[in-house]
């Protein structure tokens, strides 16, 4: 089969438009394009949206970078000339939405000055720049200036799905046949007998349409819920004088918003205060050059990203009054790229559809030729009646229905159903899948490169040890006073200054008057310690900040300069302890004095750092430097070391077990961290990542290695410490391209974006992750927990296996239905299964089969085998063994019943033919019901294992059996059936049950695995051609 699917292959991530177009061109037979391609990207719409997006970006570029005097002259209207509506004046505001938008959109500094600058704008918006907006004015602001929401497509209604399902070409043809059948039947046989066959087909069609529409509508609701989760972004604002965390959709004009590295600017506005604020406007304007924002260039645009620094902004325009709002209209156009499994199953559906179409045409021709031959033999070839026309019409209806059954439209849609189900369940398990293909690809992951902090550890940090004044102190909440009593007063004073001034966190008061710390866990741990030992942020922060260099993962340090009251300046620096130590030539001794640092002193301090790191503590160094004058840049050397702190971040419960599960599943877990190598090794050993034969390496050493050395080293690397984002990117690239690994990468910072984008599956942290990281990720781990990543792998494998189960089940039904109808037509001149019966069988194998098999929850056994290889044959030899074995059994049984059923069942009387046909139909359906159970496991013999825990599967079985009873016993006039005796019912069920016994013997037949291309680097064999489920103990 695989060689016929060469046109149906795409990359899981960022496939080329050529590949997307290629498989579309290869699809020939489609019954209902609008439904089959609903979850496929519309390339034409995508191109139109891209053109529209470029047009908007060009317009923005003109406004931002080509601000000619003419534009400013036209737009520059004095505040006095601007007319305000009564509504705006009554609300107490001095500017309307259009005027505010024109200031920011055109970067119009002249108009900003005419309105009195930032202070003038704030007065006209009735907002305090210190306390923010009053919460009592929120409704009025939203009424005058609008909501921070964008125009979105209205959700599809249920009736739209019904209408779409009715567009199936084969169903339309069947409806026409049914209507003609009713008309001819009523004319020839009278009312109501003549209309039963036609009405039966129409009712069956509407039942198929209804079930299809309900299934599709439920999927759409799941995707809608997931889309809402994807769009949840939160920011900090100041309102009523208090810092609050709110959704970007709740932002109003006048809000004072706090921005940090990696944040998305949530609305248009102007800069208030900040340090080193650098904005990436590429998403809005298409320009790759970042923009420095300060008092001279104060304009901030919605949708842009904070690349560096921090600051506060005043919101001036929201929602559709921003250029980002207009751009957002185009972002969802064209839809998301289809997944590799969807494409592959479209190929399978196309191949089977061609075979089915051929069988349908042959069946119709055979039936027609036999009918014409019978008329010719009986000498009635020239005598035609309406009954003959009705018979030919029924032949045609049967042929069309064979196409309905044979073209498995449900195959590619089953992937979407399974993915939607998995994504919904993962959402409940704290993982948000942003891209459908990621769920599939995760099942093939062979390597996970994970961060340490927050992913393997709890991210709740506490300062545990402190080296200061040449002595090490253990810090405990209940006895800190005793342990720190020997620290010199002047040293402690400057230590507290360093903590409270050189920080990216902030101590704020809640409405209840309690102190809260807002910032990263590391910063919070330092501030908590400062408060614990009696430091007062209000007192300590009286010194004026002159310059700030925020922390970033490249420099691994943060620095500030403050102005001293008596004149002069003081620089504080904090960061990775080894880096800070190298910047120092003095340290504070036991007397509180700064003394020169000799090599011996430096070695002793390095021993302290290593001892802290050996206890799995994160180590930070704090230093200061006094200066008479402030230079152009913050100094890089000449500092005096104040202290080394050791911060405890415990390993998360369950991480060690999750890592071991991954190892058993053939997935190598590697830690990539910016921490000290000794800290990293200690944590890695505790988590079970670093083994005796594994390698721990530092980023600088990694960067120095040549290509040949890297090729040999990379498979052994289990820990990379003191790494830069560029190291992570290089590591991931080497693993993917050189070692052919399927790599999942975790990341939380802005600088992790390239590695997240380059990896096969990018995993962003939901709590610690920046918006930039989340935007470049495929999955967001909402609880930042490594155990959740293991769960994503399990669900990824489950999706793949579930689709294989469904394909095995559907192909078996396809083969049996086609051969039974064709053989019967050739031998007897009639089709044993009528159009109504085939439509019911189609529903069992398509919509209901997909619901039952494609939504089964994962089992722990999935993590007891290697990952699915990239080049694995999807329909494996083991699956073909099961399909052919079951098909042979069913064909033998149904053939025997069809051609010798009366004798075998001892049927006689005028209704013997009707009873036999009904019994054949009933037996065929029960074979499929029990084959559905057989398909729950491809290799495992105990197919009943865990069935009771699969509610959807059980519900589908119950509904199928119940409706089969109704069709046979009560809807005979429409379905061409007659009621069966209890004995015949039991025999039908027994024939189905025997298929389960047959399946056991089939699974005992050995299957030679397909030739393996390679063996995995870690030594285990790649996945066989079918999943090897193991028996439960």
**Residues marked as catalytic:** 451
C-beta of residue 857 within 8 angstroms of C-beta of residue 425: yes
C-beta of residue 401 within 8 angstroms of C-beta of residue 837: no
Summary count for the chain: helices (H), strands (E): 39, 26
Distance CA 502, CA 545 (A): 9
Distance CA 426, CA 798 (A): 12
Query: What residues does 312 pair with on adjacent strands?
Result: 258, 273
Please choose, from the candidates 477, 451, 180, 118, the residue with its C-alpha nearest in 3D space to the C-alpha of residue 315.
118
Residue 628 DSSP one-character state: S
Beta strand 234-239 with 242-247 is: antiparallel
964: Cβ contacts below 8 Å, ≥ 6 apart: 840, 922, 925, 926, 929
Distance CA 919, CA 911 (A): 12
CA distances from 237 to 130, 209, 308, 314, 919 (A): 11, 50, 19, 10, 71
CA distances from 369 to 58, 820, 887 (A): 67, 18, 28
Distance CA 108, CA 111 (A): 5
CA distances from 539 to 273, 531, 535, 543 (A): 21, 12, 8, 9
Q: How far is CA 614 from the centre of its chain?
A: 37
Distance CA 979, CA 405 (A): 25
Distance CA 971, CA 986 (A): 20
C-beta of residue 765 within 8 angstroms of C-beta of residue 521: no
Tokens of 587: 């340290």
Tokens of 225: 């819920």
Please choose, from the candidates 807, 801, 816, 814, the residue with its C-alpha nearest in 3D space to the C-alpha of residue 939.
801
Distance CA 86, CA 291 (A): 38
CA distances from 746 to 285, 459, 866, 944 (A): 29, 15, 21, 37
Tokens of 827: 């031998």
CA count, 13 A, side-chain hemisphere, 308 = 15
Q: What are phi and psi of 516, to 5 degrees?
A: -120, 145
Tokens of 236: 């900090």
Q: For the sheet with 431-433, list strands across it.
A: 431-433, 779-781, 761-765, 743-747, 447-450, 668-672, 717-721, 695-698
| Conformation bin of residue 240: beta by default, left when phi > 0, alpha when psi is -120 to 50 | left
Distance CA 587, CA 590 (A): 10
Tokens of 532: 């614990």
Distance CA 181, CA 173 (A): 12
> Environment class of residue 359 by beta-carbon count within 10 Å: exposed (0-12), middle (13-18) or buried (19+)?
buried
- Helix, strand and coil percent figures for the chain, each rounded to 5: 55, 15, 30
Tokens of 794: 């399990």
């Amino acid at each position: 089969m695989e060689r016929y699917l060469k046109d149906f292959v795409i990359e899981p991530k960022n496939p080329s438009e050529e590949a997307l177009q290629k498989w579309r061109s290869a699809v020939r037979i489609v019954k209902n394009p609008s439904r089959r391609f609903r979850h496929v990207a519309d390339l034409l719409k995508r191109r139109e949206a891209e053109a529209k997006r470029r047009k908007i970006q060009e317009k923005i570029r003109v406004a931002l970078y080509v601000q000619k005097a003419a534009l400013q002259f036209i737009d520059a209207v004095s505040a006095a000339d601007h007319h305000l509506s009564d509504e705006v004046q009554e609300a107490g505001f001095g500017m309307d939405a259009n005027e505010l938008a024109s200031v920011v959109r055109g970067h119009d500094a002249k108009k900003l000055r005419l309105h009195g600058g930032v202070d003038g704008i704030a007065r006209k918006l009735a907002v305090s720049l210190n306390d923010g907006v009053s919460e009592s004015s929120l409704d009025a602001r939203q009424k005058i200036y609008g909501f921070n929401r964008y125009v979105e497509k209205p959700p599809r209604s249920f009736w739209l799905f019904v209408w779409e399902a009715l567009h199936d070409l084969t169903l339309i043809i069947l409806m026409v046949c049914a209507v003609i059948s009713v008309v001819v039947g009523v004319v020839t046989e009278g009312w109501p007998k003549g209309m039963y066959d036609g009405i039966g087909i129409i009712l069956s069609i509407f039942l198929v349409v209804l079930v299809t529409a309900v299934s599709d509508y439920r999927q759409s609701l799941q995707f809608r819920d997931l889309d809402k989760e994807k769009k949840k972004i939160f920011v900090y604002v100041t309102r009523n004088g208090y810092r609050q965390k709110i959704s970007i959709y709740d932002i109003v004009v006048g809000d004072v918003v706090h921005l940090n590295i990696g944040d998305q600017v949530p609305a248009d506005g102007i800069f208030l205060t900040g340090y080193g604020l650098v904005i990436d406007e590429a998403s809005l304007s298409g320009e790759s050059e970042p923009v420095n924002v300060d008092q001279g260039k104060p304009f901030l645009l919605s949708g842009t990203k904070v690349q560096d620094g921090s600051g506060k902004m005043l919101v001036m325009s929201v929602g559709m009054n921003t250029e980002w709002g207009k751009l957002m209209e185009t972002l969802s156009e064209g839809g998301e790229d289809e997944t590799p499994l969807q494409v592959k199953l479209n190929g399978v559906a196309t191949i089977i559809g061609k075979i089915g179409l051929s069988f349908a045409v042959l069946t119709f021709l055979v039936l027609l030729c036999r009918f014409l031959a019978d008329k010719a033999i009986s000498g009635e070839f020239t005598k035609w009646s309406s009954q003959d026309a009705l018979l030919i019409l029924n032949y045609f209806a049967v042929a069309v229905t064979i196409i309905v059954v044979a073209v498995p439209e449900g195959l590619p849609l089953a992937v979407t159903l399974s993915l939607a189900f998995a994504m919904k369940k993962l959402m409940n398990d704290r993982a948000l899948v942003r891209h459908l293909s990621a769920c599939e690809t995760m099942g093939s992951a062979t390597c996970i490169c994970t961060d340490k902090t927050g992913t393997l550890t709890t991210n709740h940090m506490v300062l545990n040890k402190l080296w200061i004044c040449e002595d090490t102190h253990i810090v405990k909440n209940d006895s800190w006073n005793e342990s720190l009593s020997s620290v010199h007063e002047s040293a402690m004073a400057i230590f507290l200054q360093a903590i409270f001034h050189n920080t990216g966190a902030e101590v704020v008061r809640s409405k209840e008057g309690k102190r809260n710390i807002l910032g990263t866990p590391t910063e919070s741990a330092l501030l908590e310690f400062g408060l614990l030992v009696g430091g007062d942020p209000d007192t300590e922060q009286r010194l004026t900040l002159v310059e700030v260099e925020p922390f970033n993962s490249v420099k691994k340090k943060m620095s500030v300069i403050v102005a001293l009251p008596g004149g002069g300046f003081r620089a504080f620096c904090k960061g990775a302890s080894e880096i800070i130590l190298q910047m120092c030539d003095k340290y504070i001794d036991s007397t509180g004095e700064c003394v020169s640092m000799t090599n011996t002193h430096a070695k002793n301090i390095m021993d302290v750092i290593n001892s802290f790191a050996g206890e799995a503590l994160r180590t930070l160094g704090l230093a200061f430097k006094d200066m008479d004058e402030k230079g152009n840049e913050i100094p890089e050397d000449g500092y005096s070391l104040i202290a080394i702190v050791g911060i405890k971040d415990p390993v998360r419960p369950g991480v060690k077990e999750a890592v071991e599960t991954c190892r058993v599943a053939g997935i190598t877990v590697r830690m990539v961290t910016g921490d000290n190598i000794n800290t990293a090794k200690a944590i890695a050993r505790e988590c079970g990542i670093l083994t005796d034969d594994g390698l721990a390496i530092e980023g600088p050493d990694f960067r120095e290695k040549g290509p040949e050395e890297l090729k040999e080293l990379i498979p052994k690397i289990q820990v990379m410490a003191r790494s830069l984002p560029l190291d992570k990117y290089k590591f991931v690239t080497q693993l993917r391209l050189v070692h052919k690994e399927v790599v999942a990468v975790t990341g939380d910072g802005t600088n992790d974006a390239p590695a997240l984008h380059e990896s096969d599956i990018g995993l962003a942290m939901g709590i610690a992750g920046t918006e930039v990281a989340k935007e470049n990720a495929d999955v967001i781990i909402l609880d930042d927990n490594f155990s959740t990543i293991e769960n994503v792998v399990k669900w990824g494998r489950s999706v793949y296996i579930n689709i294989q189960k469904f394909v095995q089940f559907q192909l078996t039904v396809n083969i049996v239905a086609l051969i039974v109808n064709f053989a019967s037509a050739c031998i007897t001149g009639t089709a044993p299964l009528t159009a109504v019966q085939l439509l019911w069988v189609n529903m069992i194998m398509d919509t209901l089969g997909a619901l039952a098999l494609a939504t089964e929850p994962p089992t722990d056994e999935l993590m007891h085998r290697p990952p699915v290889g990239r080049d694995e044959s999807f329909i494996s030899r083991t699956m073909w063994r099961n399909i052919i074995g079951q098909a042979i059994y069913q064909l033998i049984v149904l053939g025997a019943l069809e051609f010798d059923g009366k004798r075998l069942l001892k049927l006689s009387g005028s209704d013997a033919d009707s009873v036999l046909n009904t019994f054949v139909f009933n037996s065929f359906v029960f074979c499929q019901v029990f084959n559905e159970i057989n398909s729950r496991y491809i290799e495992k013999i105990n197919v009943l294992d865990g069935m009771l825990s699969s509610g959807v599967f059980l519900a589908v079985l119950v509904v199928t059996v119940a409706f089969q009873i109704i069709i046979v016993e009560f809807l005979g006039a429409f379905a061409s059936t007659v009621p069966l005796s209890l004995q015949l019912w039991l025999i039908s069920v027994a024939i189905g049950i025997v298929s389960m016994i047959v399946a056991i013997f089939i699974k005992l037949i050995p299957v030679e695995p397909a030739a393996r291309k390679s063996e995995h680097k870690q030594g285990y064999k790649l996945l066989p051609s079918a999943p090897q489920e193991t028996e439960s103990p």
